[in-house]
Amino acid sequence: MRLSTGILALLSSAVLASGFAPVRPTAFARGGSLPMSTTEETKTEGKKAGKDAPPTHLGWDSHNPVEKAPDSLVREGDGPDGNYPMRSKFEKMCRDAQIAITKAIEEIDGEGKFKEDCWTRANGGGGMSRVLSGGKVFEKAGVNLSVVYGSMPQEALQAATERGVDRSKGMAPGERVPFFACGLSSVMHPKNPFCPTMHFNYRYFETDGGVWWFGGGTDITPSYIDEDDMKHFHGTYKEICDKHDPEYYKEFKAWADRYFVIQHRNETRGFGGIFFDDQNDRDPDTIFEFSKECLNSVVKAYGPIIEKHKDDEFTQEQKEWQLMRRGRYVEFNLVYDRGTVFGLKTGGRIESILMSLPETARWEYNNVPEPGTPEAEFLEVCKHPRDWV
């Protein structure tokens, strides 16, 4: 049975993120604060959102299309008090990566071209979506930049985070939390069943209560096992992690295996990669450099795998298996993915939020692969994740 993924999108607006991934133990408490002045009143009672703070739901019609995005969507003075230089630096990193990655993917595809949509919001921020559709190699590929100045109820903010992490720290009890967020996210769905889907997201947040953190990761979702491919992909990110902290890869790989679980099926979405959130246990510039190197290594980790398999022959049965695995991808994104839920809860641009969904997917009733087949072996890895490097 083939269904439009757009229909399923209606289900997600009622779903809250589960926040089931464990908290990363560090030598510092989570919820690091930016250096900003406070009064005795805010110390004892907590800060209240200003009268000019954005509403908790920006509104689906709050995005104004523009021919060309301004040189920067980050403006000093917009949003909560905080680290303006980091906001600006992170946005520039995302813009540069968006240009470089889409150029590389166009070269791999050979025919498809990315179409860019730009928009702004009256209260500040905006975004740029670049989407390739109907290419020679890629059925759909998108790379989205977003800068958001918004507010969230404290309970909704907590639902989208790690257990035990107080992102509303510094705010008065029950007060909505004004925030700044900037991120670059991408999903790429190739046509060939032997070419894996790839996803990445790198982001930076600040709240009006003085909390800041980085999050991100890159992960891969094949339909068939190729151990050399997985060694290359995971090896690329292990090398980066080892350069910045010898504990990073082991921890962030395990975090990805826990995060990308389709709980109602007790299987992972794919073969993982790295995933991290609520990172503020060291100098922000240090975490920035780690995020930057991870983001700038996407093509290095993913491109050779697509080049290797884009012309592989495949059967109709193998294509149908790929479409069923895409169905699993849809299930995870609409039910469990924090980024999707966050965007829907804050009134994000719906076309950008649902860009991650494939154009085609498949659901078959009670499909169970025959024992000993490549499909059965693949499913076993989804139930018991492997260490590839």
What is the rounded CA–CA span in Å between residue 195 and residue 302?
Answer: 10
Q: What is the number of residues in the chain?
A: 389
Tokens 């920006």 -> residue: 58
What is the rounded CA–CA span in Å between residue 300 and residue 320?
Answer: 29
DSSP assignment string, 7-18: HHHHHHTT----
DSSP assignment string, 265-330: TTEESSS-EEEEEEE-SS-HHHHHHHHHHHHTTHHHHHHHHHHHHTT----HHHHHHHHHHHHHHH
Do residues 326 and 359 make contact, with C-beta atoms less than 8 angstroms apart?
Answer: no
Establish whether 189 is a catalytic residue: no
Identified catalytic residue from 199, 232, 234, 309: 199
What is the rounded CA–CA span in Å between residue 298 and residue 285?
Answer: 21
Distance of CA 264 to the CA centre of its chain: 21
- Residue spans of alpha helices (H) in the chain: 5-12, 40-45, 84-109, 154-159, 227-244, 248-259, 284-295, 298-309, 316-335, 338-345, 350-353, 374-383
Q: How many CB atoms lie within 10 A of CB 244?
A: 17
| Nearest C-alpha neighbor of 331 from the set 2, 116, 29, 9 | 9
**What type of residue is 382?**
C
Write out the catalytic residue numbers.
Answer: 199
